[in-house]
Amino acid sequence: ENLEYMLNNCLEQLILEVTGKCNLRCQYCIYNDTYTHNRDFNQKDMSLDIAKKAIDYFFAHGKEKIAITFYGGEPLLRFELLKEVIGYSNELNKQYGKEISFGFTTNMTLMTESMAEYFASIPKINIMGSLDGPVEIHNEYRKKTDGTGSFADAYRGLKILSKAYKEHGKDHLSLNVVYAPPYTYEKLEQINAFFKSLQTVDKVVLGYASQSHFSLSK
């Protein structure tokens, strides 16, 4: 009995699947042909028109505190759409006066200085980067479409984003760390040592890559 009321009055989060494309082929990702109950990656992109219609409905039927998040694929492949959506939402919010935030998870490999500067300028945006640890551990599962490791590009993207955040006075970036087989204490120690090393090896990353969310991969 509550479904209609909830849809009309209580929406809190809008997830826009902006693309089915991804530039990586992480071996534990659910979007591949080894997971028969989920879709594979595809070439579909969300149009700006569809995104605007979803946002219009969301604002009209959402609570006073709302979040718009971007999903993929890799969201940074649709960077221009993300900018359009954020701009459109902030303009529309002048009519509604809601507390609005944005967010997405990214593999960080496509991050550029101009992208980082833009994201750092957005007042309320939550970005979670994916980095599994030091190069040999990260590259074991997080591979590009050609089968090579993605660590160098992901780490570069993290540094670019961290630098922009620091320059804008922001103090929080999250990292999603997947702990995948083989499961050993030595591996956990390597991962932990790597993230601790960011505080001394790379001053730019200090304090901006400190919150990690661990998830287990079967």
Owner of token pair 């009321």:
5
105 strand-pairing partners: 128
Q: What is the pLDDT of residue 202?
A: 58
8, pLDDT greater than 60: yes
Q: What is the mean pLDDT of residues 71-96?
A: 97
pLDDT digits (tens, 9 = 90+) for 103-144: 999 999 999 999 999 999 999 999 999 999 999 999 999 999
165 vs 204: CA distance, rounded Å: 10
3-state secondary structure 15-30: EEECECCCCECCCCCC
Closest CA to 101 of 88, 117, 114, 90: 90
| Range from 18-22, 107-111, 136-140, 198-202 carrying the lowest mean pLDDT | 198-202
| Range from 60-74, 106-120, 197-211 carrying the lowest mean pLDDT | 197-211
Q: How confident is the model at residue 206 (pLDDT cuts 50, 70, 90)?
A: very low
Torsion of CA 181, 183, 189, 191, to 10 degrees: 20
